[in-house]
Amino acid sequence: MEPSSATSGFFQSPPTIPPQFLEDTALRRIISLHLPSPTPSSVEQDLFRFSRLVLSRSHLAHAADAERNQPYLRPLTTFGVENKQDPLVTSEGWRKLQDIGIQEGIVGLAYANSQLQDGGNAGAQWNNRVYQFVKYHLWTASAAMVTCPSAMTDGAAKLLGKHLNDPDGAIFTEARNRLVSRDPGFAWTSGQWMTERKGGSDVRGTETVARKLSVQEQKASSGVDAVGHPLGPWQIDGFKWFSSATDANMTIMLAKTGSDGQISAFYAPLRKKVQGATEGETELNGVKIQRLKNKLGTKTLPTAELELKGMRGYLIGKEGEGVKEISTLLNITRMHNIIGAVGGWGRGLAISRAFAKVRVTGGKLLTDVPAHVRALARDHVMYHGQMHLSYLVVSLLGISEGQDCRLAQATRAGILPTDAQQANALLRLLTPMAKAQTALRSINGLRACMENLGGVGYLENEDPLLNIARVFRDTCVLSIWEGTTDIMADDLVRVIKSRQGPAILLAVDQWVANALAIAKHSFEREGAKLQREWEQWLQSSKTKDKEQLKWEGRDLLVGLEHVICGLLLVLDAVRDNNPAAREIARRWILQDQATYGSWEDEAAWDKMIVFGDEGTATARL
């Protein structure tokens, strides 16, 4: 027997990760539900091409470069003077990925005309938010966190779009046009600065102060931003404790105004032209980067502490309405958080499936080890539920923006309401729950995906395609970004107990009743269980006071998640009676109460759920 060596002996065959557009069953069903069926050719071709691009060696090299060459600061010039022009250094890979995201329309797709995208065909209408976030799903695990500035860019575009007719509308229009552009040479990205030393989600402790300059002061400190527009009439001073996307072109932030310290929202360019310098030379607009944060994950992303001294900007909306204004942005960034979570998890599961097809243990492929497939099946059931929840919320966002969903099967299946008021009620109630639960489920799911690969899964692999550890690290932030789980639970309670709460609950109750009416015909037992759970949840929400509901907040999130996801899985399954879809719905709802003729029957269903192989599955449907 010959001993192994560095160049001889056994070497594991590498798994082949197929494009998720073709292989991810949950994603395929989402596309068939929430985009027109059949999928418009331009959309299908684009998604297929992109799903291959994000797995290509050349593309992943950019992600590896961004991870290897992390951002750093050059705070001083050679002679010890503050470096105001280029203190932040990012990698070539990071900048390339930024450009790719812009070109691919990771933000811009949401603001495009779907008919124009399909050659002006009047029948080719779809929800651009769905198209955008399906592409985002494919992108997120290969993007080295450029999705973070994309999220804030999308939110800023939505916010500024509401103020194009304001007195400073020309400034906002220029910025918004750049935020939604797909030309890297013209496009901008945006930051979002709220978090200060006193806290993040609770903005009442904001210590940043904005003061409107007098006409004389404005003349004395005249200047223009990087594209030649006058610097804003407001001077902003303070300290921001967390600022992701520090390399952005502009930012949206909160600051206190007036003698009573009202919270107001501001737009500010990040750079201004250097007076008297060479044409085109710019420097930071009253911003000093104090230090970069050292984080568990998202290491490619330049997150910094910023000191603002004399930063110039423009008021958005009215003084004292900053929280109201910033909520528009947060609703968008939370949507990115949701899809970023399931997108990372989807990649982890794709790698797990591929690895199981090549890894042999005990003389068997992992695909033929029932215990391994059983664990995978449980995660796939949870993933399917989270995917349906995520894209319901995505579609509802599009509907709230006037997007067209009439040709989507989800409308015919009773998933998407045709009443705008009901759609808005669902969107408001479900967004905080979806943000909280997708983050928690995906973090736990990606931990399991690392385990699915054994020791290889725990490694920071040189091969970026298999680096689940990096995806896990980056995903961990999603239960914190844009509001922690408890903040999301508080937001849910705030909705329930608000003045509009009874009307929102009534609209959601009507949606649930319609879904249950469909479910009872072929999912009688499951429908009855969901109905009991919903009645208990609704009764609890109505009768308990606000403080008790906040104390029970996480239970409230889980209860709502189980009912809504269960109904979505049922509505998806009954449209085509797909055996695997029916079994997934049954398992989600009944959980440990699901019964089988034998453990072998259940194991056969496990394999079908994970790998799409019906085998000899004989479980009762």
Residue 349 DSSP class: H
Domain 327-611, CATH homologous superfamily name and number: Butyryl-CoA Dehydrogenase, subunit A, domain 3 (1.20.140.10)
Give residue 115's pLDDT. 44
CA dist 442 and 435 (Å) reads 11
Strand, helix or coil for residue 608: helix
Tokens linked to 90? 């990012």
For the chain (621 residues), the mean pLDDT of every run of 10, in chain order, is 92 95 97 93 96 97 96 95 95 98 98 60 73 98 97 98 97 98 98 88 86 92 91 96 92 95 96 86 96 96 96 97 95 97 98 97 96 98 98 97 90 94 96 98 98 94 88 97 96 97 97 95 95 98 97 98 98 96 98 93 97 53 37
Distance (Å, whole) CA 99 – CA 179: 13
CA distance 7 to 91: 34
Angstrom distance (rounded) from CA 251 to CA 60: 29
CA-to-CA distance for 25 and 514, rounded, in angstroms?
Answer: 26
Are the C-beta atoms of 136 and 407 separated by less than 8 Å?
no
Q: What is the pLDDT of residue 203?
A: 79
Q: Measured between alpha carbons, how far is residue 18 from residues 24, 47, 363, 613 in Å?
A: 9, 13, 25, 17
| Domain regions of the chain by residue span | 20-156, 190-321, 327-611
**Which pLDDT score is estimated for 117?**
53
Burial of 436 from C-beta contacts in 10 A (0-12 / 13-18 / 19+): buried
- Contact (CB, 8 A) for 302 and 243: no
DSSP annotation of 12 = P
Cis peptide before 38 (omega within 30 of 0): yes
CB 522 within 8 A of CB 574: yes
The number of beta carbons lying within 10 Å of the beta carbon of residue 428 is 21
Which residues does 564 contact at the CB level (< 8 Å), separation at least 6? 389, 392, 430, 433
Which tokens is 246 given?
Answer: 């520090």
Per-residue pLDDT at 222: 80
Residue burial 138-154, b: 16+ Cβ < 10 Å; e: rest: bbbbbbbbbbbbbbbbb
- Are the C-beta atoms of 523 and 570 separated by less than 8 Å? yes
pLDDT at 37: 86
Residues 6+ apart with CB under 8 A from 98: 146, 149, 184, 189
Q: Hey, which residues does 83 pair with through a beta bridge?
A: none
Computed over its alpha carbons, how large is the radius of gyration of the chain?
Answer: 25
CB hemisphere CA count around 254 (13 angstroms): 27
CA distance 166 to 235: 19
- What six digits make up the tokens of 322? 């900053």
Amino acid at 324: K
Distance CA 219, CA 146 (A): 38
8 Å CB contact between 405 and 128: no
Which one, of 95, 14, 10, 9, lies nearest residue 354 by Cα? 14
Domain 190-321 bears CATH identifier 3.40.50.920: no
Residue 208: C-alpha distances to residues 195, 254, 255, 292, 587 (Å): 10, 8, 5, 20, 51
Structural contact between residues 27 and 134, judged by C-beta atoms closer than 8 angstroms: yes
Distance CA 24, CA 38 (A): 18
Q: Could you write out the three-class secondary structure of 205-252?
A: HCCCEEEECCHHHHHHCCCEECCCCECCCEEEEEEEEEECCCCCCEEE
Read off the tokens for 460.
Answer: 């920071």
pLDDT of residue 219: 85
Residue 201: exposure state from Cβ atoms within 10 A (0-12, 13-18, ≥19): middle
Contact predicate 300/144, CB 8 Å: yes
CA distance linking residue 478 with residue 301, whole number of Å? 14
User: Can you give the three-state secondary structure of 89-117, one letter per residue?
Assistant: ECCHHHHHHHHHHHHCCCCHHHHCCHHHH
What pLDDT does 605 receive?
97
Question: Could you give the 3-state DSSP secondary structure of residue 315?
Answer: strand
Other CB atoms closer than 10 Å to residue 326's CB: what's the count? 24
Say which amino acid occupies 353.
R
pLDDT value, residue 116: 52
The dihedral through the CA atoms of 521, 524, 530, 533 has a sign that is positive
Residue type, 376: L
